[in-house]
């Protein structure tokens, strides 16, 4: 089944304890991205990657790191989590990004709910 | 600066009637628009899209209309079904340069379809 898999789905942690949220897709998609969803703010992009070894900041990158060493994986790293990073996180991927039929159609993971105490 | 606006946080309609979800945008460089649907405890799923060179795209019960002069798009669901109850996100894409594009989401509208 074509899908984007995120882990963990739920996590409660404490301020300052490094954590990684993994994301893997099995569709050979070039484009991957991380979003956070907060009440009243919708989906905001954290980081994205156009291809392997190519990453760039989204709208809210502060406090996060990413890497794209291989096509299928795009982990989100919180080096020193803080309570304002408590949120629902979504990883997404797309076959390609640009103009044309099927362009920019993101497939999302099921989400990872993170609570930082 | 919120470039994609969904001004109605929620909408309630009766089963069988039409649901109209609205979205306004400010960036005239957006060239592709998409609607996503999200159920609780799930990730958003793609619903329908439209290129800026078109003014209408239809897929079954779902139709998206684009009015470029007004910088407005809308999603029509006819007839509405209880299973359509979800949060709907409007999104718009713009080319930043080269092969670099950016997708911006609205805040979402919660649609409730009452039986």
Q: Which pLDDT score is estimated for A101?
A: 66
Look at residue A9 and tell me whether its pLDDT is greater than 80: yes
Average pLDDT, chain B: 93
Q: Which pLDDT score is estimated for A100?
A: 66
Token duo for residue B26 = 């400010």
Look at residue B1 and tell me whether its pLDDT is greater than 70: no
Could you give the percent of chain A with pLDDT greater than 70? 96
Distance from CA of A92 to the nearest CA of B (A): 9
Instruction: Give the pLDDT band of residue B101 (cuts 50, 70, 90).
Output: confident
Q: Which residues of B touch A90 (CB under 8 A)?
A: 43-44
Backbone angles phi, psi at A83, to 5 degrees: -55, -30
Beta strand segments in chain B, E? 4-5, 10-14, 19-25, 32-38, 45-51, 56-59, 62-67, 72-77, 86-97, 100-105, 109-114
Q: Are strands B109-114 and B10-14 parallel, antiparallel or unpaired?
A: parallel
Instruction: Give the pLDDT band of residue B35 (cuts 50, 70, 90).
Output: very high
- Indicate the residue of A50, A99, A110 with minimum beta-carbon distance to B42: A110
User: Per DSSP, what are the bridge partners of residue B52?
Assistant: none
Chain A residues with at least one Cβ partner in B under 8 Å: 4, 33, 35, 40-45, 50, 56, 90, 92, 97-99, 103-111
With CA atoms as reference, report the closest residue to B22 among B73, B81, B98, B56: B73
Q: Which pLDDT score is estimated for A105?
A: 86
- pLDDT (tens digit per residue) in B38-48: 999 899 999 99
Q: Which residues of A touch B106 (CB under 8 A)?
A: 42
- pLDDT (tens digit per residue) in A12-64: 999 999 999 999 999 999 889 999 999 888 899 999 998 899 999 999 999 99
Q: Which chain B residue is nearest to residue A35, measuring alpha carbons?
A: B105
Q: SS3 for A55?
A: strand
Token duo for residue A94 = 């797309």
Least confident of A96-105, B14-23, B81-90: A96-105
Q: Which pLDDT score is estimated for A5?
A: 97
Q: Do B89 and A42 touch (CB under 8 A)?
A: yes
Could you give the percent of chain B with pLDDT greater than 90? 85
Average pLDDT, chain A: 92
- pLDDT (tens digit per residue) in B43-93: 999 999 999 999 999 999 999 999 999 999 999 999 999 999 999 999 998
Look at residue A97 and tell me whether its pLDDT is greater than 80: no
């Amino acid at each position: 089944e074509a899908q984007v898999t995120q882990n963990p789905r739920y996590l409660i942690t404490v301020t300052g304890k490094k954590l990684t949220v993994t994301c893997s897709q099995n569709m050979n998609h070039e484009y991957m991205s991380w979003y956070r969803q907060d009440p009243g703010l919708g989906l905001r992009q954290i980081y994205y990657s156009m291809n392997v070894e190519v990453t760039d900041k989204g709208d809210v990158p502060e406090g996060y790191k990413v890497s794209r060493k291989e096509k299928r994986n795009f982990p989100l790293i919180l080096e020193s989590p803080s309570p304002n990073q408590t949120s629902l996180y979504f990883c997404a991927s797309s076959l390609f990004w640009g103009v044309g039929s099927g362009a920019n159609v993101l497939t999302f993971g099921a989400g990872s709910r993170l609570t930082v105490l | 600066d919120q470039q994609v606006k969904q001004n109605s946080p929620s909408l309630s309609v009766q089963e069988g009637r039409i649901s109209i979800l609205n979205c306004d945008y400010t960036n005239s460089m957006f060239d592709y628009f998409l609607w996503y649907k999200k159920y609780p405890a799930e990730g958003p799923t793609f619903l329908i899209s439209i290129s800026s060179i078109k003014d209408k795209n239809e897929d079954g019960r779902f139709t998206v209309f684009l009015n470029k002069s007004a910088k407005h798009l809308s999603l029509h669901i006819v007839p509405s079904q209880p299973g359509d109850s979800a949060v709907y996100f409007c999104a718009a894409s713009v080319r930043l340069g080269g092969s670099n594009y950016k997708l911006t989401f609205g805040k979402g509208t919660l649609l409730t379809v009452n039986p």
